Amino acid sequence: MLSISRELAKKVSACHKAGYRVYPVPAGRSYTYYQLYIEKNKSDQFFPKDQIKLQSKEKLYPNDTLEWQEELYKLYLKIYNKHIAS
C-alpha cells in the first residue's frame, strides 16, 4: 500500500466533501487489473440517485503494483487543483 502525506490526505478529503471520488474497479478477464473511475455527486454522501457524472479511465493498471494507486492520487490532485483550489 502506498503511503500518502498529510497534505495529500487533506486534499483527498476536500475532494470527497465536494462530491468527487476516484476508485478502482476490477477489470480484465481474471480481474487482475484495475480501471479507475471518477465520480461526481451532488453531495458528499455518494447516493446513487445523486450521481451527476461517472467517468472511467481507459487505461488498465495491474492490481499487483502500486501504479494504480499513484494514478489514483494524481487524479485526486488534478480534481483538487481544477475544482476546489481555484
Each residue's pLDDT tens digit, 39-84: 999 988 888 888 898 899 899 999 999 999 999 999 999 999 999 9
Instruction: Select from 16, 37, 6, 25 the least CA-distant residue to 63.
Output: 25
Instruction: Give the chain's radius of gyration (CA, Å).
Output: 13
Q: Which three cell numbers stand for residue 11?
A: 486534499
> What number is the average pLDDT over the span 23-49?
91
DSSP secondary structure code for residue 29 in this structure: T
Its pTM stands at 0.89
